[in-house]
Structure 1
């Protein structure tokens, strides 16, 4: 039987042509693995992420097409989680949401550092080894590129990037834990430049359409123009005179009181995320249980879109072709069509704490808390899924792990994923 299979396989690889008189049969062997790279790139560009994973597993030459130098795949990737509580290890446990695949990623650069957040395939790391201060670094674990940021005080709860670190006019922004204070850094600056505003502290922030948008608990949205931030800090005089307490008076700021109609008029026990999705700015409200003794129990989510003309939040009942991934310093929106998976109208979220002011390095006491308090931690989870608008959502209850900090979302690049996990 084996010789017959080989013969049939060979016949299938032959393409038959007749000459002009139809008198002679010419057989031409076609080796699909030898298709020109440029042809494969054109074909693969039109495929979803899931389909690209499938075709890259056909043969090694096809897989080699997926490489970091092909621009169309630089922004494509696999939504993944990096687990917390592993800062003393040189390997970190990661999970792919699309394939439910777990793997150990080599991260010697992250030894004794906490993963604070991510921006696409870049990780944001924090070293708190010096008392009351932290050193922040940006690491791309797939290209091994590293950017070290200046050390600063340990009183910030959120970091926001204006884009990828190598992009023009790149800006980093920090939000203070207790005050309406923000700090900025641009490439070349020797320290963080602080700037103070009056009012309630900011809960969350995002870079959107050329500006940083900052959300406070009293529903005020503060808009800071990123170009003016970069110009103010990157000037020769600003760099020469920069100090830990320097201010940036040239920043263009707009303050908006944004109205919202919600079933829950108070923001108590609500964690709020800002997410850019398909050119729109979304506000996602995560409601925690108010029952006595309920710890880290999420009851539901509500989604709103910013109407810039009316400066109001409009409730969204359906995410259309988008799926959201929510987490501290790492929220992101993906296209279901580009991913190629049936995940429409879903919100993936991690085990975040209800207080946005906490960081993992402040929470070592969480380890073993359940046993000390004689609480049952069985059935508690690191991440969950919420179907927006599902009729059964009124029965939804996600119980987060009390003993561990929530994991961080990041994007594993398609080229790296195909070359590291698929075999031929």
Structure 2
């Protein structure tokens, strides 16, 4: 008779609990407890995944990223607490935002992956060296990976990995959450000095260029199965992407007034939404003390550890950890408001939207999505939760400036700050992650 080790026997017994009972337990758990719940065994993980849908998103923040150990902080909008999560699969990688709950990570040696931060599933995408404009790669005498590119003028130029990672790639968008086959998921990226479009599927060998009437795309999103891309002049194209891709021009240049703005696209309740973010340039000393402050990168005792339960209330103790940053004055791009439009496909016109109704919008540098507010008693609809995350100073390892979580109220056009970070923030910029 074969003896089963006690630990394995215990796990085996837990996996036999009826799914109906597990679902009843899950309904009483907070999101951190759901993640711990899913770590018990594969059957519990499969039950916890759908239960996480409908939960408020988390804000993913740097957590001692200079150590390269794959530790990240997650801020809960629900209870305003920080949690620490180990993601060794993301150690040393740059994270390019979240789509359908998946992170896009770019690793040294040009590897690109889709990573689900809570299930820890990782899918490989074609490497950075397979983008259409990359002609060749080689190693320098110092052992650094060098990329040879063809510029828009037809010249050849060589660039290092850090520049390729931080400047060559723009945004990513997923058509859907990858299934077990991954064939139904299409990943689109903006790339190059002119921000062109390329696409792939998990498991492909290289990125495929998507030829469109123009380039310089500011944002991309999938809407009703089609990719919609908005360029600098607010012209819009829609693309059916497949083995025989088809491109449709939907919008001529927009007549909406231009200025100091950034454009974002979002698919929401069957509508294609464009959000304009109005900004102004100022020195950080022009706006001292706005919002609540916390340290620029979470340290080892500032967050609840999702894995082991060690905790400290980082939010309430935030003011004790910040440093004086007035010595290095930097230019910041401050958000002063938002304008929302929806597309009338028949007239090919953007129509101003004055209210989001029962919808909450979550916006950051790399992604944008919405959730109905009726499921969340402590949060309000008709708000845009956003990260004021733009700044003027970049280096190869980090960028300087202020990251501030705020809520923009559509009803009275005011901004309510939640907390703010100072000094130098390591990559990545904060991003919203859907559970």
TM-score, length basis structure 1: 0.67
- After superposition, give the CA deviation of every residue in 1:101-124 in whole Å (9 maximum; x if it has no partner): 201101111110111111233221
- Three-state SS of the structure 2 residue aligned to 1:68 is helix
- Name which of 43, 47, 56 aligns with 1:78: 56
Determine if contact 2:282/2:334 at 8 Å carries over to the other structure: no
Find the aligned partners of 1:112 and 1:190 in 2 and give their Cα distance.
23
Q: Is the 8 A contact 1:116 1:125 kept in 2?
A: yes
Residue matched to 1:151: 127
In 2, Cα distance between equivalents of 1:119 and 1:109 = 17
1:175 maps onto 2:175 in alignment: no
For residue 14 of structure 1, what is the aligned residue in structure 2?
Answer: none
Q: 2:434 aligns to what?
A: 411
| 1:354–1:270 Cα change, 3 Å | farther
Aligned residue among 195, 199, 214 for 2:214 = 199
Q: Quote how far apart the aligned CAs of 1:273 are.
A: 1.0
Pairwise CA distance, 1:330: 2.3
Contact 1:181 1:201 (C-alpha < 8 Å) held by counterparts: yes
TM-score by length of 2: 0.65
Q: Which has the higher helix share?
A: 1
Q: Deviations over 1:354-383 (max 9, x none)?
A: 79xx9xxx743654x5xxxxxxx7xx4432
- Whole-Å Cα distance in 2 between the matches of residues 44 and 102 of structure 1? 24
Match of 2:360 in 1: 323
Alignment match, 1:28: none
Secondary structure in 2 aligned to 1:207? strand
- TM-superposed deviation, 1:165: 1.4
Q: Which has the higher contact order (CA 8 A, sep 6+)?
A: 1
Matched, 1:345 2:382: yes
Please report the RMSD computed on the Cα atoms of aligned residues, expressed in angstroms: 3.6
- The offset of 1:149, in angstroms, is 1.1
In structure 1, the residue matched to 2:332 is 295
1:258-290 per-position Cα deviation (integer Å, ceiling 9, x unaligned): 56554xx22x43111111222211111111104
SS of residue matched to 2:103:
strand
In 2, Cα distance between equivalents of 1:297 and 1:402: 16
Q: Does 1:140 align with 2:116?
A: yes
Where in structure 2 are the equivalents of 1:15-94 lying within 5 Å? Answer: 38=20, 41=23, 53=30, 68-69=46-47, 72-73=50-51, 75-84=53-62, 86=65, 88-94=68-74
> What is the distance in 2 between the residues matched to 1:277 and 1:400?
30
Q: 1:341 Cα shift?
A: 3.2
Match of 2:135 in 1: none
Counterparts of 1:108 and 1:39 in 2: how far apart (Å)? 32
Deviations 1:19-64 (CA, angstroms, capped at 9, x unpaired): xxxxxxxxxxxxxxxxx964885x899x8xxx7649x99xx9xx99
* Aligned-partner SS, 1:223: strand
Report if aligned partners of 2:176, 2:184 keep a CA contact under 8 Å in 1: no
Tell me how far 1:174 sits from its aligned partner.
1.0
How far apart, in 2, do the equivalents of 1:349 and 1:341 lie? 17
Q: How many corresponding residue pairs?
A: 324
